[in-house]
């Protein structure tokens, strides 16, 4: 799907994001910025500090400068669209906002983050109050953190950082979930997303409530709903997990899985798809796991649910092919600064001089050597 609004929110608390610091949050707490739920408001509701807002709100500045919050992305990746939602902030929204991104390995403290190499994703730009202010972003950087600035002060209900997660090759090796967002799995098509996004199927961890899964509207025709997933890497699947947890009265009755190898066949050609899991009955509110034995290589997998309903998670465990793994490493190395790549290679036990050489090199030979370092 090319629609940026359908991309997963890399900052959301639902995928492990955190607002690790704000220079001020007197009126309303910074953590509200990344709550997955839409913002809410109750007029004439006063706490000790003033009107209660569902967002991040600083005091009125009496000296020059600007306010800022530091966000750790739950899914490091390339940000394609920022949404600065000022819902319910009418007399107290910031006139302008800006956002910067950084790629920092390890577990930096807020103080260390302040010294990071911040790259501009959104220059200071005007925003409107009580509005979802949407900005497309043009960057190639795999960000791990964002810095959101309000010029000079004010309140913001939510920040959404829609984008493409880029896998860390240290954790996408051996047998892993080839559909997981954190490894670069992504939704490429879907029949219906009436209630919730199909990307939720690929989110980390178990869903806590029904709303954290994918749910379609009730079908009133003879068809069935489906979702198509681009795998993190071309690979061979060994197990599938179809988790209907929390879908009690609206789980699908049956499901099938099929796959295609987009390197040798056209995914748009229905005849190119091969069955992976035959039509299988599902139970409501159940984590189903199936062993897969076909041994075939796939780049895309399609889940058909019959006739409609919802599902919490889809996991597709398997191993990447050698060229699939090399592609995954190439995507990562093209999106991280050389000093970051060098630090990661050192962490993998690569000798210092080789790490420096590999991090700085480019071209097919360098790609092959880099992929070998992570295999």
Ligand X SMILES: NC(=O)NC(NC(N)=O)C(=O)[O-]
Interface residues toward ligand X, by CB under 6 A: 27, 50-51, 53, 57, 60, 92
CB 149 to ligand X: min, Å? 18
Residue closer to ligand X (CB basis): 92 or 216: 92
Cβ neighbours of residue 208 under 8 Å, at least 6 residues apart?
A: none
Residue closer to ligand X (CB basis): 94 or 318: 94
Q: Which residues pair with 165 in a beta bridge?
A: 77
Residue closer to ligand X (CB basis): 153 or 168: 153
Residue closer to ligand X (CB basis): 9 or 67: 67
Q: Quick one: which of 297, 261, 263, 294 has its CA closest to 278?
A: 294
Distances 128 to 88, 153, 173, 268, 278 between C-alpha atoms, Å: 11, 14, 45, 41, 51
CB 154 to ligand X: min, Å? 7
Greatest alpha-carbon span in the chain = 67
DSSP string, 56-99: EEPPPP-SSS-EEEEEEEEEEEEEEEEEEE-TT-SSS--SEEEE
Residue closer to ligand X (CB basis): 25 or 225: 25
Residue closer to ligand X (CB basis): 27 or 68: 27
Residue closer to ligand X (CB basis): 59 or 219: 59
* Nearest residue relative to ligand X (C-beta): 50
CB 58 to ligand X: min, Å? 9
CB 151 to ligand X: min, Å? 16
Q: Quick one: which of 267, 278, 315, 319 has its CA closest to 296?
A: 319
Phi, psi of 209 (to 5 degrees): -145, 170
CB 59 to ligand X: min, Å? 8
Residue 139 CA to residue 343 CA, distance in Å, equals: 22
Residue 28 CA to residue 158 CA, distance in Å, equals: 12
CB 87 to ligand X: min, Å? 13
For residue 4 the two structure tokens come to: 């940026």
Residue bearing tokens 């920092």: 104
CB 70 to ligand X: min, Å? 22
């Amino acid at each position: 799907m090319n629609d940026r609004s359908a991309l997963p929110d890399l900052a959301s608390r639902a995928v492990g994001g955190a607002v690790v610091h704000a220079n001020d949050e007197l009126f309303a707490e910074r953590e509200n910025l990344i709550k997955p739920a839409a913002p809410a408001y109750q007029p004439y509701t006063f706490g000790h500090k003033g009107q209660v807002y569902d967002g991040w709100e600083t005091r009125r500045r009496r000296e020059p400068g600007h306010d800022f919050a530091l966000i750790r992305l739950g899914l490091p990746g390339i940000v394609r669209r920022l949404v600065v939602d000022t819902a319910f902030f009418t007399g107290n929204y910031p006139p302008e906002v800006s956002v910067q991104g950084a790629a920092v390995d390890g577990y930096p403290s807020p103080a260390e983050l302040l010294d990071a190499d911040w790259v501009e994703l959104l220059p200071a730009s005007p925003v409107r109050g009580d509005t979802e202010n949407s900005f497309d972003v043009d960057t190639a950087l795999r960000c791990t953190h964002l810095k959101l600035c309000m010029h000079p002060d004010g309140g913001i209900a939510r920040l959404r950082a829609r984008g493409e997660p880029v896998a860390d090759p240290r954790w996408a090796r051996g047998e892993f979930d080839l559909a997981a967002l954190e490894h670069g799995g992504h939704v490429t098509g879907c029949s219906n997303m009436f209630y919730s996004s199909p990307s939720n199927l690929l989110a980390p961890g178990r869903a806590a409530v029904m709303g954290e899964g994918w749910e379609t509207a009730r079908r009133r025709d003879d068809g069935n709903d489906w979702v198509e997933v681009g795998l993190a890497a071309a690979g061979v699947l060994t197990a599938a997990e179809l988790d209907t947890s929390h879908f009690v009265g609206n789980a699908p009755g049956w499901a099938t899985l099929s796959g295609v190898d987009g390197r040798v066949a056209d995914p748009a050609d229905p005849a190119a798809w091969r069955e992976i899991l035959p039509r299988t009955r599902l139970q409501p509110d159940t984590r189903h796991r199936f062993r897969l034995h076909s041994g075939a290589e796939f780049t895309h997998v399609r889940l058909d649910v019959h006739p409609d309903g919802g599902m919490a998670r889809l996991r597709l465990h398997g191993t990447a092919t050698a060229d699939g793994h090399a592609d995954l490493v190439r995507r990562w190395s093209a999106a991280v600064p050389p000093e970051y790549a060098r630090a990661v290679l050192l962490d993998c036990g690569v000798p210092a001089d080789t790490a420096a050489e590999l991090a700085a090199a480019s071209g097919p030979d360098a790609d092959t050597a880099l992929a070998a370092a992570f295999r």
